[in-house]
Amino acid sequence: MNILNLLEQLFIRPQNWIEVLILSVLIYYTIMFIRGTRTLAVLRGALLLALMYGVAKYFDLYTIINLFEKFGPFLLIGFIILFAPEMRRALTVIGKQSFVSKMIGSRSTVEPIRDAVRTLVNRQIGALIAIERTVGLRGYTHSGVIMDAEVSSPVLLNIFYPKTPLHDGGVIIEKGRIMGAACIFPLSSSPLSHIMGTRHRAALGLSEETDALVICVSEETGKISLFENGKWDQGVSVSEMSCRLSENAV
């Protein structure tokens, strides 16, 4: 079947457009679900093996083809076993009632973040908050304590209160939820980081490796810093921070 026949069938049968739409949605949410997890790295490895097999078939490399055909079933079983936790987690998420609301969109978290940061500034309590954008932060989430809690000012204040076990490290907010606390962020090694404390270096490091918007409150000065794409904005006001959050549709 050539391309013209395929296009003709697509236009003649409206069911094909429905199938394409459904598959597109499934592929999109599959990518959104696995981004930032080890599953993405495993899939890359699987695609590399498939590419090697295709090259071997094209050039008639019989030894490599025989190896793939003999060990292929074992590799398939291995992938199924390896992906079993992710499959269970995906089915659990689908079964939750809140999944639909997450797909449609979560409520704004600008106000609770703003209120919490204002209180932290007034009390000179250090804080580190990362808001996820397009680059997944789930790998950093698993370095801390998994929460999946609603974003609220009391929760954020309790996390960063100096005498609580979660005050060290950063908070990660994803899709309007606090997904992790006490998370470890990568420390920046840029020349600018030499004049920073550990909390600010971690904020800068995360902004260099991802596109997250990172809020940092200094416990020494009580000043707010925003980190974005490796850039450091010092002495940001609460209102300016709120505008930046609103621009990023948090």
**Can you tell me which residue has the tokens 């704004």?**
108
pLDDT top residue among 110 and 103: 110
Calculate the CA dihedral of residues 65, 66, 70, 74 and round it to 10 degrees. Answer: -30
Task: State the average pLDDT for the chain.
Answer: 82
199-225 burial, b for 16+ CB within 10 Å, e for fewer? bbbbbbbbbbebebbbbbbbbeeeebb
Question: Where, residue-wise, is CATH 3.40.1700.10 in the chain?
Answer: 106-247
pLDDT of residue 195: 87
Tell me the per-residue pLDDT of 39-63, one tens digit each, with 9 for 90 and over.
Answer: 666 677 778 888 888 888 888 888 8
Q: Which CATH architecture has domain 106-247?
A: 3-Layer(aba) Sandwich (3.40)
pLDDT of residue 89: 57
142 pLDDT higher than 70: yes
Q: How confident is the model at residue 116 (pLDDT cuts 50, 70, 90)?
A: very high
220 pLDDT higher than 50: yes
Q: Of 101-110, 123-132, 162-171, 211-220, which range is least confident?
A: 101-110
Q: How confident is the model at residue 158 (pLDDT cuts 50, 70, 90)?
A: very high
**Can you tell me which residue has the tokens 């698993």?**
142
